[in-house]
Amino acid sequence: QNFDKDPKRWWVVTSAVEDAARLVEVLLPLHPGWFLPGAALANVLRSGALVGRQSLVNGTILRHFALRENLGDIRAKLEAQGRILAIAALPVGIGLFRWTQGLATVSDASGNEAVSPAGLALASAVYGTLFLSKNYFCYRAAKALRFDNLNANRLVLAARSYVKTGEAPTPSEVADLEGVYAPRGRQLDRVRFGASFEGLREAAGSALDELIEAHEGEGYLLAARGRGREAGVLVCVKGGCSDEDVAKAALQGEILAARREGGGEGEALIESRCLEEATSALGDFLARLEAAGWSLRVVRGAWNTVEVTKLL
């Protein structure tokens, strides 16, 4: 679920972990006694990285390329390009390995091979440059990705922009806000989806019954929490919650967060009016999202859900 929640960051991270596995393998000849544990560590790192990277490339990231839903065609082209690059990289890699091996080893006075510190440093600089370059280009590629499907992060960012400006941002605009390494806590703590019922009950306190009653016909429960830097909105999703309900929860949460920052009214009055405002603005919000190029189907994360029967 975290791959769908934050695909750009996880793509870059899994690529870096795969390179870390290669680095372990490159260093193993310097310490033959550590071959078995080193090889095992490299295998574990590579296996975990490949699970993540292949899941992202074959799933979420394909949406960036398959603008006409031609997933099979795109996948076939990616496979063909990958095979061609693998064939071309084999002789280049062998040549590079032999060259750096020659740099790192010298013959001592007795004719035995020994490690050359200067050569080893140069060889390390060559491999380090390759690793860093590859990860930099991976970062740039991730930064360029644009997704038109709404997950919790993109939906909250879109609702925040709509509440401020009355317009829905485009997928490109949200992608720039989303970034690759931008702090997610700062983006998501304001309106947090998938809160547990216990956490929501703690935030609501004695007003829990009123909150449940106010959201009786909704697919979610929503409550404000904290003040100042700790201020935010918790969204507890009910079982069977529709995509429209999720969009409404994000909209209501952003309206509530903005009203609380403005102050001037009682908490209960603010929460009541925010639900009314979200209900009134939902149709326009969804229409503007669709006009901006968004798919209105929401990617569900590993959210806690509460069954209606639990509230009765």
AA letter at 9: R
Percent of all residues in the chain with a pLDDT value above 90, rounded to a whole number = 19
Cα 299 from chain centre: 12
Higher pLDDT, 106 or 240: 240
Q: Are 294 and 150 in contact (CB under 8 A)?
A: yes
Q: Residue 55's pLDDT band (boundaries 50, 70, 90)?
A: confident
Residues sharing a CB contact under 8 Å with residue 31, sequence separation 6 or more, in sequence order: 38
H-assigned helices in 105-116: none
Pair of tokens at residue 223: 């409550």
- For residues 144 and 141, give the distance between their C-alpha atoms in angstroms, rounded to a whole number: 5
d(CA 250, CA 191): 7
Distance in Å from the first CA to the final CA of the chain: 30
Q: What is the pLDDT of residues 86-109, one digit of tens each?
A: 898 888 878 877 776 666 666 666
